[in-house]
Amino acid sequence: MQLERLNEIFRAKLSDEDFKRLSEFIYREYGIKMPPAKKVMLQGRLQKRLRELDITSFREYVDYVFSKEGQDNEIIHMIDVVSTNKTDFFREPVHFEFLAQEVVPQFAKNTDLRYPLKIWSAGCSSGEEPYTIAITLFECKEKFPALDFQILGTDISTRILQTAFDAIYKENRIEGIPLHILKKYFLRSKDRTNPTVRLVPEIRKKVSFMRLNLMENVYPIPEMFDVIFCRNVLIYFDRPTQEQVINKLCMHLKAGGYFFLGHSESVTGMVVPLRQIKPTIFVKIE
């Protein structure tokens, strides 16, 4: 791309009118709030799409997004850029402690481990959460050797799901993880110029991934789950949308199953089939 054209793209500004068109669409179709204060952020993130498409103005880009070709080909890339993906291994560790100390023993007692424990990580981002769940459950197998489990991770971003599927992370992403866990479940790359780690195959094969928009009316997932993690996802939605999403998720949660929210999220004032048993930990009402 010529330097002059590249400079023209960098000078492009997102008008209030075009921001309104995009923000209303993003909220309506994906539930992500885009108040006016986020216009500069949206402009910065979409600059990448302008460069890749060789489009020099946001007006041209927005018109393309709403064209038939754009609806077919660009929307998924735009949402990849817009969606926020921040997560860590063992984030909010009290949830994984509860999973190991309370959920698994109860599941073993009630089922005699006749079938797998099924867990859904909704809004799984780059995979750290479902892989942390898998590690936690593998550790539980020392006490419950017959324990089997299946984990589903879903997210709206195809780009971030590819990272999750690959299960390769920069070495600084594992800082703070206990050494005995690192030795058992992570493989270090031989290339020390680009230090990365990868989850061992035993962990990777227990987690599957699929793209899912939580704003869909019906989730195309046939399974019923024993546990659902939906942490630090709802903060991007307004309260009515949060309530709708929780109720749709609960349609896939077994009676008596556990539901985990992020530390800054709550169901206060919502009509949902959940009973709180600890801060951010709930049981589905039978």
Task: Find the catalytic residue in 45, 59, 198, 204.
Answer: 45
CB 205 within 8 A of CB 22: no
Helix (H, G, I), strand (E, B) or coil at 207: strand
CA 51: distance to chain centroid?
Answer: 27
Q: Which member of 18, 49, 80, 155 is catalytic? A: 155
Look up residue 123 and give its two tokens: 């809004």
Residue linked to tokens 């309506």: 28
* Residue 155 designated active-site: yes
Which of 21, 2, 7 lies closest to 60 in space, CA to CA? 21
- Cα separation, 5 vs 246, in Å, equals 46
Q: Which residues are catalytic?
A: 45, 155
